[in-house]
Amino acid sequence: MTGRTMARKAKGDGRAKKARRGAPAAPPDARPRLSGHPRAQRQIREAKAWAGLAGFALVLLLSLQGGALIFDAGVRALAAGAGCYVAGWAMAVLVWRHLARAEVLVAEQRYQEETSA
């Protein structure tokens, strides 16, 4: 980058800051996010990987046993692996949404018990 583009970028940031000063600040979003939950991130990532690999391996094995050509079996396995990857992601997110809600409810109950006691 040249000095000119850096100067333009810095100048543009100043305009945005001035515009933000006049506008009221949006309240922070206090909802729990799975993107900020370290265990959820790791387990969702693992579920996607294992689902994709399992779908790929299963369809490849079944296609080869069914007498498909190697290329055709590979294409089917790739398609199935991609589909299972997305399905694994959806299922993992669904499960973790429920787990995150349950964790929030438990934390609220503990807080209420501590403050009332």
Distance of CA 61 to the CA centre of its chain: 30
Which tokens go with 82? 């991609």
Kindly list the distances between the CA atom of residue 5 and the CA atoms of 15, 18, 40, in Å, as whole numbers in the listed order: 16, 20, 40
pLDDT at res. 19? 53
> Which residue, 42, 54, 41, is CA-closest to 85?
54
**Above 80 in pLDDT, residue 23?**
no
pLDDT digits (tens, 9 = 90+) for 73-116: 999 999 999 999 999 999 999 999 999 999 989 999 999 999 98
Over residues 65-75, the pLDDT tens digits come to 999 999 999 99
DSSP result, 22-61: HSPPPPP--S--GGG-HHHHHHHHHHHHHHHHHHHHHHHH
Distance of CA 100 to the CA centre of its chain: 14
